[in-house]
Amino acid sequence: MANGTPERILLAHGGGGQLTNQLIRSHILPHLGNEALAPLGDSACLELGSASICFTTDSYVVKPLFFRGGDIGKLAVCGTINDLAVAGSRPLALTLSLIVEEGLEVHTLDRILESIGQTARQAGVSVVAGDTKTVERGSADGIFINTAGIGIRLPGVELGLDKFAVGDKVFINGTIGDHGLTIISQREGIRFESQLESDCAPLAGLTCMLLENVQGIRFMRDATRGGLAAVLNEMVEGSRLGIEIREADLPIKPVVQGAADVLGFDVLNVANEGKFVAVVAPEAAEKCLELCHAHELGRSARVIGEVVESRDLPLVELRTKIGGRRIVQMPYGRELPRIC
């Protein structure tokens, strides 16, 4: 180990936390850096002729392949749609690449493909290109999936980390921790398993509706790997602003909190697959909430905090229920491997 950098790739390098960040900045960007990649957004925003598009890709290695509330196929469609959605675009089309391990039951593959088709139809996107590869037994774990997607940017929508101001409100469209705790409980065979359900869902319908009807939405990001903690830290990184959230306002299902307590997880660090965090102008918050509450994927939406001035470092702080304060750190990334 030199300079604290491990010599081999660790599972935590894929955890969406500090180590993923390090890998991207120290090893990927030096070779590939360019203007569209530089903001490290959920999607790249490109001008192609007269069209303004968002373009993104994501790979899915979740274990187990089927879980309460979804499966790897549904996840592969929703995850890419959500990265396009939070970048301010309306998803149009996906590609689908399957890497299948020798020995996977054809019936299992059929179930996954059925789920992919159904989720894509419901979300109004088409799978327009694809690829199928097989690898020897032992070279993969059943199936890995990659999807890429394009979306058309909504006219007049400009989202960016540079648009925040002190006093802006931070809101989330519903409960946190559901996806990650469902996966880990199912993997460990924990007794709450039957009451937990992943929140895996395509968010574009809700995000487009908000962006088309509310002025003053500054930024959105889906709170996937690394959970709410990672997203909030990414939002203030490199800025002179902080974010303060209130524990009492965090929407968490009691069964999710219970599972997290027993398994030793901080719900703030746990992945979601149907949640986005938005920073909005103070005067826009109420309208956003009202619209969210009328939408099936935003019924438990809440303002959870606000953008504050930061004295020296850009900090995310949690005001606890009993009036204390603690710093919400960027998770390291090793807590929950293969969660999506």
Stretch that binds Mg ion, among 45-53, 81-89, 125-133, 245-253 (CB under 5 A): 81-89
Stretch that binds Mg ion, among 59-67, 177-185, 219-227, 266-274 (CB under 5 A): 219-227
Tell me, letter by letter, the H, E, C secondary structure of 173-204: CCCCCHHHHHHHHHHHCCHHHHHCCCCCCCCH
Stretch that binds Mg ion, among 11-19, 217-225, 282-290, 304-312 (CB under 5 A): 217-225
72-86 helix and 106-123 helix, angle to the nearest 10 degrees: 30
Closer residue to Mg ion, CB minimum distance, 227 or 305: 227
The region that residue 171 occupies, defined by phi over 0 for left and psi between -120 and 50 for alpha, beta otherwise, is beta
Note whether 222 binds Mg ion by CB under 5 A.
yes
Output the six-digit token pair for 47: 């001008």
**Least Cβ distance, residue 110 to Mg ion (angstroms):** 29
**Least Cβ distance, residue 58 to Mg ion (angstroms):** 8
Note whether 83 binds Mg ion by CB under 5 A.
yes
Number of Cα atoms under 13 Å in the Cβ half of residue 130: 14
Closer residue to Mg ion, CB minimum distance, 199 or 222: 222
Q: Judging by DSSP bridges, how do beta strands 325-327 and 316-319 pair with one another?
A: antiparallel
Note whether 244 binds Mg ion by CB under 5 A.
no
Cβ contact 274:174 at 8 Å = yes
Residue of the chain from 12, 42, 205, 275 that contacts Mg ion (CB under 5 A): 42
Closer residue to Mg ion, CB minimum distance, 40 or 92: 40
Closer residue to Mg ion, CB minimum distance, 100 or 201: 201
Cβ contact 40:20 at 8 Å = no
* Chain residues that interact with Mg ion, rule: CB under 5 A: 42, 83, 222
